[in-house]
Amino acid sequence: MDRVLNTARITKDKNFDGKFFFGVKTTGIFCRPSCPAPVAKEENVVYFKTIFDALERDFRPCYRCRPDISVEYYNKNLDGVYVVNTALGMIYDGYLNSHSLRDLSCELLVSDRHLRKLFVDNLGVPPVKIARYHKSLFAKKLLVFSNQSITDIAFASGFGSIRQFNDVFKKIFGKTPTAVRNEACDENGGPNDTTLLLKYQKPFNFKQAVAFMKPRAMEGVERITENSYGRTFRAGGTKGYVIVEDCPEKSILELRIGCDDIKCYMEIYNKIRKVFDLDTDFSAINFKFAKDRLLSKGMVDGHVPRLPIAFDPFEFAVRAILGQQISVKAATTLAARIAKKAGVESDNSFPHGLNRFFPNPSELSNLKLDGLGLTRTRQETIKTLTQAIIDKKVVLTANQSFETFQKDFSALKGIGDWTVNYVAMRGLGMIDSFPATDLGIVKALSNKSRTPSKKEILGMAEHWRPYRSYATLCLWNQ
């Protein structure tokens, strides 16, 4: 394995960026494999699986290749157990900024002591330290790529005080936040109006992603063109909007956030990464599906489509109920009518076409759905879902097994197998969901002589585990 890492480092192979990091013992600096600096001697090099491992060993990020802001460090490359990966996702969304480790442990149904042990065993770093590193790394992105004040950035990144921010940041990076901000201004001519950059691995087909989303765009809530993705959002007490555009020559998505509270940035940044499926390692999936006669037809240039995970799981669950046995266009129209009737409007500062928000569970529970074109049965199913969310009988997060979600969600009247799998797949991002009765799947697997049964389709799909959600996308893409 060291020989592979050494070769990638010497050849400066960009394909390994984010998959490992290396430090130079004589300088105390760590880099990504493609760093343009002169190649260090192998005897002076130490390899790290994660950026946290490098920071924990007191190595500081290189200022040439910027592994701390130019390369994502998400858990796609970790071999940790389910609990660790789930906890990491919550930490990256800022959970420990406002909750204790015990709270996190309770969410995951383990003791805080056991959670610490799992982190140390799998990552070599306890969860609280990872949260501290993550806050600092995210703060550095804001210092370089936004025009927010240093005070705002400190609190947006989850620090309790400016003093704490300055002390932790300087210890990790060897420079103060002010020094990093000044360097960013010298290099870039000033931070650029709160545009965050989301690095991605090629191939990445932005036009394919937005082409899938555009027919499903809800008028007033979303505005999607062939070159951009935009929508309104509410996070806690914050109202805002996002605009995402592709910059293929730099392999980045440019994310512009407009909101009344910068504290939402960490959550929104991570949501957009999920919307465009930027953190999946596709090497194993592409290799498996390329050899499959059926699925390979839905691949583009040897790559499976990325999974477009919904920005708002509750909104998507309602959309899925609306979409039962009707066309995408009809379901989209009904969803827009619900949003319009809810009447939660944005202000005049929002971009054209983004003038309202989709109702949250509390608002929807109090909304009369008569006169919108919904059948009485569908109205009742939506109300049942909404109340179940409020009562916490159903949890719309990926922090659960599919079996748990299936049991809870399917217990609701009006929720069938297709809806369960579709919401698990696109609403929660569970990658082994498979809506076997979906018309697009049935059509792709049918031939002139016959249409396969549900049992036969599920039998075929067994060969596509554990990536049946991506198999679904390949079948839809034919």
> Residue 59: what pLDDT?
95
Q: Residue 475 burial (CB < 10 Å; 0-12/13-18/19+)?
A: buried
Q: What is the mean pLDDT of residues 399-411?
A: 91
How does residue 192 score in pLDDT terms, banded at 50, 70 and 90?
Answer: very low
> Residue 69: what pLDDT?
82
Q: Are 208 and 305 in contact (CB under 8 A)?
A: yes
Rounded Cα–Cα distance for residues 38 and 397 (Å): 45
How distant, in Å, are the alpha carbons of 29, 82, 249, 385 from that of 360? 47, 29, 38, 12
Q: Are 429 and 279 in contact (CB under 8 A)?
A: no
75-85 pLDDT, tens digit each: 554 444 678 87
> Residue 15: what pLDDT?
75
Three-state SS for 291? coil
294: nearest Cα among 422, 450, 442 = 442
Rounded Cα–Cα distance for residues 405 and 397 (Å): 9
Residue 400 predicted with pLDDT over 90: no
Element (H, E) at 409: helix 402-410
- What mean pLDDT value characterizes the chain? 90
Half-sphere exposure of 101 (CA within 13 A, CB side): 15
Rounded Cα–Cα distance for residues 131 and 139 (Å): 12
> Residue 191: what pLDDT?
45
Rounded Cα–Cα distance for residues 214 and 308 (Å): 12
Tokens of 181: 């901000």
Q: What is the mean pLDDT of residues 131-159?
A: 88
| DSSP codes of every residue in 92-148 | HTTHHHHS-HHHHHHHTTS-HHHHHHHHHHHHSS-HHHHHHHHHHHHHHHHHHH---
φ and ψ at 233, to 5 degrees? -155, 160
Three-state SS for 203? coil
Position with higher pLDDT, 451 vs 141: 451
Report the DSSP pairing between strands 29-31 and 21-24. antiparallel
Q: Which residues contact 41 (CB under 8 A, 6 or more apart)?
A: none
337: nearest Cα among 308, 380, 295, 367 = 367
Domains of the chain, earliest start first: 2-61 (3.40.10.10), 75-188 (1.10.10.60), 195-277 (3.30.310.20)
Rounded Cα–Cα distance for residues 379 and 375 (Å): 6
ω into 466 cis (within 30 of 0): yes
> Residue 165: what pLDDT?
94
DSSP annotation of 427 = I
Residue type at 32? R
Q: Are 312 and 275 in contact (CB under 8 A)?
A: no
299-342 pLDDT, tens digit each: 998 999 999 999 999 999 999 999 998 999 999 999 999 999 99
Q: Residue 228 burial (CB < 10 Å; 0-12/13-18/19+)?
A: middle
| b (16+ CB within 10 A) / e for 343-352 | ebebeeebee
Rounded Cα–Cα distance for residues 378 and 317 (Å): 13
Rounded Cα–Cα distance for residues 376 and 383 (Å): 11
Least confident interval from 192-206, 374-388, 448-462: 192-206
Rounded Cα–Cα distance for residues 181 and 16 (Å): 29
Q: What is the mean pLDDT of residues 178-203?
A: 74
Tokens of 466: 């554990």
Q: Are 22 and 33 in contact (CB under 8 A)?
A: yes
17-64 pLDDT, tens digit each: 888 999 999 999 999 999 999 999 999 999 998 899 999 999 999 988
Three-state SS for 165? helix
Give me the residues paired with residue 195 across strands. Answer: 256
> Residue 186: what pLDDT?
64
Three-state SS for 287? helix
10-20 pLDDT, tens digit each: 999 887 888 89
pTM metric for this prediction: 0.83
φ and ψ at 166, to 5 degrees? -60, -45
> Residue 4: what pLDDT?
83
Rounded Cα–Cα distance for residues 162 and 155 (Å): 8
